[in-house]
Chain A
Amino acid sequence: MELTLSIAELTAVLNDLYHQGYPCFSLRYPLLDLDLATFDLDAADTVVRLTDRAEYQRRFEDLRSWFQEHDERYAIREIPDYTAYKTSLLQAGLIGYQNLDKVKTELLGTLTRNVLKGHPAAFVALDTNILRDRFFSTFVAQEAELKRKPLSFALTDIIRDELAFTYKYNERDLSGLLSHPNLTHHRHLVEQFWNQNKLKDRLQRLGHLEFIKIQSSMNFHLCGPTQGMDPAASADMRIIQSYQNFATTYRHVLLLSRDFDFIAISEGRPGIEPLMAELPRDVLPRGTIGWESLGELIYIWAVVFGCVELVAADNRVLRFFGLWKGKEPTHWNEELVGLEIDGLNLSAALRDIHICRRLGAIGGL
């Protein structure tokens, strides 16, 4: 890969485009030949227009039916559907949970408990889906009040096991994808995916990264597997049991999930306060986001879609890769994207990134 950039370094690229007179561009998913969104960088915020749901689904269904007809039904699993697209907006922090205010109030409420006054120590525990949503990165780590007074977290080992990722693309998978006549000319993109995580595993891996981030936060407790637990019990049951065991020693656990059944099973258990994080019902087609969120979005889309193209008004292109040949665990941990420049001049941004890396090396920010 020509160059790998962190999310923060993507800001230098966006700044450069803005100063060069490219305030408007789209982010395109080449395998569906579809603009995922268009952007208008502005002095205040970025205006974003999301793709039309019907159009997304139409292109996806076209591809799905072709793959089914040609006995390549596994290939379509590697093309994110509209639900994955919608979830990616959540993962990038572009949209939040429907009841985010309530969630925030409850999270802050755990900070008001005082063990010196006899309150049980309060911990926030998460279900696997909340980790996959990147709630910690997009909300907890960004929220000013929670930066000042960090939350205490408890996570169970069972969740880490659920977030395992083992399936990678082989030659057969890639040739299956490339068998579609509209995709053959994307060979150079798809070939970058070789020996990298498949779509489902990539989503798992995003959750796994969240686990690691939370684990390295200040107040963290790792709940081990439950002794004597029926091995045939469902994963949800084992997760809840693990948290409940943790809560028995005079602790209060605020347990966040976006699974109705998980919440229902958790209710009425001593020490556990289940809290439902509600998925947004509708996604507004147009809105504004900060420049910072745009960097997060590029990273998430690069990972979820494998590759997205930034297409400027004059059709010059930047390609952001979330997968590339030789992508290593450190690239995942540092949340890097691969960059391929096709026509645009990014010399100013690259110079600044080079300088910032040198500044970082001398013990900078």
Chain B
Amino acid sequence: MIGALHEPEAVMKSLITITGSRYDATVNSCYAILKRCGWTPDVVEVFHPQQAPFPEHARKAAEALSVILEDYHGHRGYKVNLHPFEETDLVSYSTAIEGIIKENFNQRIETAVDITCGRKVVSGVLLKTASVHRNKILHIFCVYVKAKAYFDRWYPLRPANSQDVMDLMTF
């Protein structure tokens, strides 16, 4: 016998996301990824600008994400981490993202980023940083909303044909 056969350990998954003027957009985007792609993160890293009202939005997003992840993970556990950043210092913001991507890679944690939410420049930096480290990233998700009529609803209560989840890594 060469070696004992072990059950393969479930791979940890980490999602890096942003929250902007609407916290529910961050939550819905994560929910869409989880439902459509079957990719359920164990850790969600939520970046948000540190000036008001974004910390409050991020706190609400974390609370709502916890409700979803608690249901999907059951006893396995999950974590939502908040990362405030200064909007005028995008280099530090990019460095912080880079740090998480590298750390996850070293610890063999699958990493995906979600660029759906946040201001253009903020999601742009996230996309750029993820692109630079694309060999350490599994997915770059973007939720494409086709009908804006359902903005006041949580993801599962929107018609399935009203939005798509795209993985830019497949392009």
Binding site for B on A (CB under 8 A): 8-9, 11-12, 14-15, 18-19, 41-44, 290-292, 349, 351-356, 358-360, 362-365
Contacts and interface: CB of A to CB of B under 8 A. Distances in A.
A-B CB proximity, top 9 nearest = A352-B156, A291-B159, A15-B160, A356-B154, A12-B156, A8-B157, A358-B67, A43-B161, A11-B157
Contacts of A290: 159
Nearest to A362: B63
Interface residues of B, number: 21
Interface in B21-71: 24, 27, 35, 60, 63-64, 67-68, 71
Contact of A351 (B24, B71, B149, B160): B71
B133 interface: no
B152 interface: yes
Nearest to A352: B156
A356 B24 CA distance: 12
B119 interface: no
A291 B153 contact: no
B67 A15 contact: no
A359 B159 contact: no
B154 A359 contact: yes
B120 interface: no
B161 A362 contact: no
Nearest to B162: A291
Given A351-B71, A358-B67, A365 B160 contact: no
B158 interface: yes
Contacts of B60: 362-363
Among A8, A290, A351, A355, chain B packs the most CB atoms within 10 A around the CB of A355
A353 to B, nearest CB: 7
Contact of A365 (B68, B149, B153, B159): B153
Given A364-B24, A364-B154, A359 B161 contact: no
A351 B68 CA distance: 10
A8 B71 contact: no
Nearest to B150: A292
A362 B156 contact: no
Contacts of B27: 359
Contacts of B150: 292
B157 A18 contact: no
A292 B68 CA distance: 24
Given A362-B63, A365-B152, 20 more contacts: A8-B153, A8-B157, A11-B157, A14-B160, A15-B156, A42-B161, A292-B149, A349-B156, A352-B157, A353-B156, A354-B71, A355-B156, A356-B154, A359-B68, A360-B154, A362-B60, A362-B64, A362-B67, A363-B60, A365-B24
A11 B71 contact: no
Interface in B120-146: none
A15 B159 contact: yes
B71 A291 contact: no
Nearest to B149: A292
A14 B71 contact: no
20 contacts: A8-B153, A8-B157, A9-B157, A11-B157, A15-B156, A41-B161, A44-B161, A292-B150, A292-B159, A352-B35, A352-B156, A352-B157, A353-B156, A354-B71, A355-B154, A359-B67, A359-B68, A362-B63, A364-B24, A365-B152
